[in-house]
Structures are given as C-alpha cells and as structure tokens.
Amino acid sequence: MAELWIGSNNKKKRAELTRLLEPLGITLLTPDELGSSFDPIEDQPDFAGNARKKATLLANLSGGIALADDSGLCVDALGGRPGVLSARYGGPGLDDRGRLMRLLEEMRDVPAAKRTARFVCSLCVAAPGDRVLAGIEAACEGVLHTQPSGNEGFGYDPIFVPAEYANDMSQSFAVLGKEIKDKLSHRGKALQQLVCDLPRLIADAN
C-alpha cells in the first residue's frame, strides 16, 4: 500500500487531512513517527512558499513522499491580514480563541457589507531531494460574523460563514459540520483537485 507523510503538527488539521484522504487507501504517516524533530520555520511570504518548505523538509527527513499545506484567513477590510500569519496572529501568547477574538476586535466597526474574507489553502507534494511533485492552491469565499458560533472545526471557523450560506450568518464552518466543510472549504477544494493524481504521483516518485 502506498504511504504518504502528512506535514503538519496541528492535530486538528491533520485529522481533517486524514479524513479527506482516507478514501484513497493510502497509509498516512505523521511527523510523530519520524523519531526526529519536525519543526519548520514558516517564514515565506506566501502560502505556497510555506507549503513547499514544509513538504520538502518532511520528504527529506522521512525519505518518503510528503504532503504539506499552508493555509489561512485573508480579510479584505484588513488588507489581507492575517494571511500567512493566521496561526500566529497577535503573538505567541494567544491560542485559537485569543486570535479569533483579536480579529473580531479589529473588525468591530466594519459594516456587514465589507466583512468579506476568504480562506486560502496551498498544498505541496514533495519527494526526497527537494523534488516538488505538485502544487495546488484553492480558496473559499465568505463573510465574517460579528460573534463566534458553533463548536466544530478549529481556528477561525466559528466566525467564517461560507458564501453559500451568507443569507444566514449563524451558519459558520463551526456550525455546518465536517461533511459540508469538507465539500466547501479551501482545503477540501484543494484536495479534490489533487486526489485523482495523488496515487500516480506517489507511484511514479517511488
């Protein structure tokens, strides 16, 4: 059976990637199984650069094929922030909830018509020797609620309402649940583009 390393230390993100990739019949491995540290510095100016850096590092460390993503929330009223800093927004002292509340405070005076935003996901598949096998980027358009709702998902999900549900601002990704999120989300869309080619990419690289 083909094997694929998942380049993320975020357990909730890894669970989401696993759920989306399991139907392919690929054995998924995580950095915990390396026996060495996987702690990439995400210092690239865009999502694609960070995904590439993580995927190539994990492929070289593991000696196998690696898939990594970099993703985040881009808010129009904030000039695209938090963007690539989404997971670190506001500094190291904040957790997911703290970053979400920080963002809501910045958006406090932004009217409903200007609360547009998008989640962006860049995926990179790499093989040892810094070989990039595939790169894909996808986005999910939506609007930001003025308060969190729902208990599903992670990160900014409780305030992000996908465009398909914008007529009911209570329908955040944290309310809609895994099945709907997997179909509409930035990560789901990117993986949907990748899944048809992934088994072939792994086979060819080996």
Catalytic positions: 70
Query: Rounded CA gap, 44 and 151, in Å?
Result: 31
Residues in the chain: 206
What region does 177 belong to: left with phi over 0, alpha with psi -120 to 50, or beta? left
Q: What is the 3-state secondary structure (H, E, C) of 174-198?
A: HHHCHHHHHHHCHHHHHHHHHCCCH
List, in sequence order, every residue forming a beta bridge with 184; answer none if it has no partner.
none
